[in-house]
Structure 1
Amino acid sequence: MFDTFDFLNLVLDTITDHIAVIDDQGTIIYVNKSWIDFGLSNGIPENTEWVGVNYFDACAPRDGAEELSVKSDIEDVINGKTRSFYHEYPCHSPTEKRWFQMRVNALEFDKSRIVIIDHSNITERKIAEEQALYLSRIDSLTGLSNRRHFDDFLTDEWKRCIRSQMPITMAMIDIDFFKHLNDSSGHHAGDECLETISDIMKEFAKRPSDVCARYGGDEFVIVYGNSAMDESLVLMLKLMDTIRKKEIPNPDSPISSNITVSIGLATAYPDIDSTEEDIIKAADTLLYKAKDGGRDHIEFATI
């Protein structure tokens, strides 16, 4: 009973993974119920006959470097160059994000080589990984990028600007007399201020080549890839004005009854003899110059 074909077929049909078996020519010789059901739920006609058709013609993508690489790796298993192959890939539908893992393994049976292709849904794991990665890059209070993500982003953007021979601009922003706000109104008011300032800053860094991050305490940074001084300076002046108009109370500030910021703005043209530390140091120096000059002020330079 338990070694009959019907029993083994029933076992395979209860497995939630999508399983196909192909011969050494790539022809499908078996698919389980989960494979068929997945096809039906994704627009494959109900009368589709899987057995007897070539696997690559039926379901393997053939365009793009990654797809061609996957096809080559599966063929290596078919041809005996390797015994197995593993691949993770997105397979999003119009209504949801989905990821799958493909395991390809070969075995010898009755003097013939057959290959088992197993697709399993790993969406829950991938979503958890994406969430963990997101949390590792985000400052929990402000929702901005954290220092770690900023460092990684700036390194990558610096290299990109070297390759493209384009400028990069960095603003280092400090809330004026933030300690006075904490001392007079309490840390809750300070946190609310940081959240409000962060929400404003997000509106000034929306391109893929931009990043806005909490650098530490009440200090923030904005990086504009592929941006020179003229356009970046306009944005920073508008940012300062937007913050003033928000009228966040800071009653004990020596320069204003509301929150203001000081900014150091530096533009660099990266080359192979420079590093991202150059623009960080320049923006930091300019920020302290703005603070020494009375605050609620911006200092800028191209280095």
Structure 2
Amino acid sequence: MLNSGISFHEIIHSLRQAIAVVNPKGYILSVNHAWVQISSEGGIPESFNWTGINFTQIFAALSEADGRCPNALDPVLNGTSPLFRTEFQSRFERSLKWFLFEASTVYYEDTHTVKGMVVCLTDITKSKMLEHELTEALTQIRTLRGLLPICAVCKRIRDEDDIWNSVESFLEKHTHAEFTHDICPECIRRLYPKYSSVLDGPSYS
């Protein structure tokens, strides 16, 4: 393989995702620049030394406060479940952010002995906001499906409460349509024959 001149260390620090490398006992070995930046946005000074901090204890405390399983990372650290993924909210100084949390087991070359785990935080706030907006839009859209029981004589429609509604009230109830009234040319000719000559103009032909 050709030497690209870019070290693995540089690649990790160039990622937008916040990365922390954790040893088998749950202590942080190193973090990348994005981890420091996100932490500082959450109120932790950039000068804070993450190396040697017990990350599993931090995760357990946050999980208990959020109603989640505090021991969710144990299977990742012992290799019985090599991936844990969840989403969570975190309140920052100026906003509320959403993150995708992923923890993956790191093995030695024998692929059996656990070397530690890698924790990755991805800011998914924009996609969550879009998801919320789409959900809000869908809740406001009410569509008519299936067969509608309509009276063959008066044309009123029976709703789900067995109440007969006019077409206007039924559609206003089940859609966002609003009605304004007019008279079609056929009704004008039938009800007001003396004005029917007006309909012979180009706009009614």
TM-score by length of 2: 0.63
Q: Secondary structure at the match of 1:219?
A: helix
Q: Secondary structure at the match of 2:64?
A: coil
Matched positions, count = 159
Asked whether 1:10 is paired with 2:16, we answer: no
1-structure distance, mates of 2:54, 2:97 = 25
2-structure distance, mates of 1:99, 1:173 = 45
Match of 1:63 in 2: 64
The structure number with the bigger radius of gyration is 2
1-structure distance, mates of 2:25, 2:8 = 24
Kindly state the Cα deviation for residue 84 of structure 1 after the two structures are TM-superposed. 0.8
Q: Secondary structure at the match of 2:107?
A: strand
Q: Is the 2:105–2:114 contact (alpha carbons within 8 Å) kept by the matching residues of 1?
A: no
Kindly state the Cα deviation for residue 96 of structure 1 after the two structures are TM-superposed. 2.5
Match of 2:138 in 1: 136
2-structure distance, mates of 1:105, 1:121 = 18
Kindly state the Cα deviation for residue 58 of structure 1 after the two structures are TM-superposed. 4.1
2-structure distance, mates of 1:23, 1:218 = 62
Kindly state the Cα deviation for residue 85 of structure 1 after the two structures are TM-superposed. 1.1
What does 1:67-146 correspond to in 2, within 5 Å?
67=68, 69=69, 71-109=70-108, 112-139=114-141, 146=142
Asked whether 1:219 is paired with 2:173, we answer: yes
Gaps of 5+ in 1: 140-145, 149-170, 180-214, 221-248, 253-303
2-structure distance, mates of 1:56, 1:35 = 16
1-structure distance, mates of 2:27, 2:82 = 18
Q: What amino acid does structure 2 have at the position aligned with 1:217? A: L
Q: Is the 1:173–1:219 contact (alpha carbons within 8 Å) kept by the matching residues of 2?
A: no
Kindly state the Cα deviation for residue 173 of structure 1 after the two structures are TM-superposed. 9.4
Gaps of 5+ in 2: 145-160, 175-179, 184-205
Q: Secondary structure at the match of 2:21?
A: strand
1-structure distance, mates of 2:163, 2:82 = 56
Kindly state the Cα deviation for residue 56 of structure 1 after the two structures are TM-superposed. 2.6
Q: Is the 1:98–1:123 contact (alpha carbons within 8 Å) kept by the matching residues of 2?
A: yes
Kindly state the Cα deviation for residue 40 of structure 1 after the two structures are TM-superposed. 1.4
1-structure distance, mates of 2:71, 2:120 = 17
Q: What amino acid does structure 2 have at the position aligned with 1:77? A: V
Kindly state the Cα deviation for residue 91 of structure 1 after the two structures are TM-superposed. 2.0
Q: Secondary structure at the match of 2:120?
A: strand
What does 1:253-292 correspond to in 2, within 5 Å?
none
Match of 2:29 in 1: 29
Q: Is the 1:101–1:121 contact (alpha carbons within 8 Å) kept by the matching residues of 2?
A: yes
Identical residues among aligned pairs (%): 18
Q: Secondary structure at the match of 2:104?
A: strand
Q: What amino acid does structure 2 have at the position aligned with 1:136? A: L
TM-score by length of 1: 0.44
Q: Secondary structure at the match of 1:52?
A: coil
Kindly state the Cα deviation for residue 102 of structure 1 after the two structures are TM-superposed. 1.1
Kindly state the Cα deviation for residue 216 of structure 1 after the two structures are TM-superposed. 4.4
Q: Is the 1:28–1:51 contact (alpha carbons within 8 Å) kept by the matching residues of 2?
A: yes
Q: Is the 1:90–1:98 contact (alpha carbons within 8 Å) kept by the matching residues of 2?
A: yes
Q: Secondary structure at the match of 2:7?
A: helix
Kindly state the Cα deviation for residue 8 of structure 1 after the two structures are TM-superposed. 1.4
1 or 2, which has the higher helix percentage? Answer: 1
Q: What RMSD, in angstroms, separates the aligned Cα atoms of the two structures?
A: 3.6
